[in-house]
């Protein structure tokens, strides 16, 4: 017998429900027709206590929208009604305007179909035939603001071709950066670039630029950073080796530190993904080659070089830097005090790596 049959036979419903472990609220629930939730109010009051029906509100809203040069959405209409003394929120205004089709149409952006990533790890045959680029936010403690770091890295050799550090990066900055890369480096004829779906990367300007440059632009799937793993890994190294170690007073000091780190990353740091070699050694196959001119790419827009676009001027020779004062580096205490590292270019005979400077400082303290 079922529980209902026992209840119909005269057994107490509470006893039967307890035996079958069914809540009484579930047993006595009866669905009702209509929309779930609280019923919308039909009267809106002002601060004095006077009530206005929905038709009166709709008349006032139509009068406001029909005013010349007024193109308000529901948020600004709500603010206007509140200035008139009404106690109303934007949800109710949106419901009223939507029922009468008074809301603004969402702007539609026409864009061509994207080329999605098909392989988790791209297959490469030579240096610079597959590039990944992404943006990371860098904290500038002196100003209390965040700067944007755009990095372009080669998948085959892990070589960082260039980076751009600015308060904000737009689609024109992306095009100018790649225009400089294609003109400076010995690029192969077939190039594939990969990025996420950031607004700077999926803009029509950037996509048309790559089409005219005969470059395949792949987009990663949403919420899949592993498809852009090489730039994500580079940015994680930056977070550990730079952002946690240094505190920047201004953007110029941050740029100087990132220049030295990129030179160390390309010329000295060993990478497990390329048989524990540095990135420069993996680019020997293209030394001495002239850059392949991308068709219709150069001068696509103004090719004014960014002041702080950091390239390796001699791709086969590291740019040396010396530490002016290692005391500006953060301590290794549990609660490090924010300090700054000042760097200037030095001659090749005075190469002092920041790690060696820190080691010398520790030995001196001991």
CA within 13 Å, CB half, 167:
5
Helix, coil or strand: residue 180: helix
- pLDDT (0 to 100) of residue 315: 39
Q: What is the pLDDT of residue 292?
A: 57
At 40 the pLDDT is 86
**10-residue block means of pLDDT along the chain (366 residues)?**
82 88 86 77 92 94 93 94 95 94 79 86 92 97 95 96 95 95 91 95 94 95 94 96 93 94 94 91 71 51 38 39 37 34 34 50 59
Instruction: For the chain, give every domain's residue range.
Output: 1-29, 43-99, 117-319
- Contact yes or no for 181/281 (Cβ under 8 A): no
3-state SS track over 286-344: HCCCCCCCCCCCCCCCCCCCCCCEECCCCCCCCCCEEECCHHHCCCCCCCCCCCCCCEE
Q: What is the pTM of this model?
A: 0.59
**CATH fold group of domain 117-319:** Nucleotidyltransferase; domain 5 (3.30.420)
pLDDT of residue 31: 79
């Amino acid at each position: 017998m079922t529980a209902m049959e026992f209840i119909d036979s005269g057994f107490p419903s509470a006893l039967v429900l307890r035996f079958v472990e069914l809540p009484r609220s579930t047993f006595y629930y009866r669905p009702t027709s209509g929309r779930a939730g609280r019923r919308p109010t039909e009267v809106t009051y002002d601060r004095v206590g006077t009530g206005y029906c929905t038709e009166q509100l709709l008349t006032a809203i139509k009068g406001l929208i029909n005013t010349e040069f007024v193109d308000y959405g529901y948020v600004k209409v709500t603010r206007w009604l509140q200035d008139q003394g009404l106690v109303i929120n934007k949800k109710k205004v949106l419901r009223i305007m939507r029922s009468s089709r008074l809301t603004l149409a969402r702007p539609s952006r026409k864009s061509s179909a994207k080329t999605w990533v098909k392989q988790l790890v791209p297959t490469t045959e030579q240096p610079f035939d597959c590039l990944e680029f992404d943006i990371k936010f860098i904290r500038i403690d002196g100003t209390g603001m965040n700067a944007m770091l755009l990095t372009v890295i080669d998948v085959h050799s892990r070589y960082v071709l260039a980076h751009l550090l600015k308060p904000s990066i737009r689609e024109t900055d992306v095009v100018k950066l790649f225009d400089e890369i294609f003109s400076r480096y010995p690029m192969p004829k077939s190039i594939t670039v990969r990025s996420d779906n950031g607004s700077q990367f999926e803009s029509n300007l950037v996509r048309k630029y790559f089409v005219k440059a005969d470059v395949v632009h792949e987009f990663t799937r949403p919420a899949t950073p592993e498809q852009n793993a090489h730039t994500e890994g580079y940015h994680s190294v930056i977070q550990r080796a730079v952002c946690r170690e240094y505190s920047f007073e201004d953007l110029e000091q941050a740029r100087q530190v990132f220049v030295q780190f990129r030179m160390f990353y390309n010329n000295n740091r060993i990478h497990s993904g390329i048989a524990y070699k540095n990135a420069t050694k993996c680019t020997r196959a293209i030394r001495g080659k002239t850059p392949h001119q991308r068709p219709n790419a150069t001068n696509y827009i103004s090719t004014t070089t960014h002041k702080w676009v950091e390239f390796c001027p001699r791709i086969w020779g590291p740019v040396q830097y010396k530490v002016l004062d290692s005391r500006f580096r953060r301590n290794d205490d549990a609660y490090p005090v924010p300090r700054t590292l000042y760097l200037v270019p030095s001659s090749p005979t005075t190469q002092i790596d920041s790690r060696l400077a820190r080691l010398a400082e520790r030995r001196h303290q001991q």
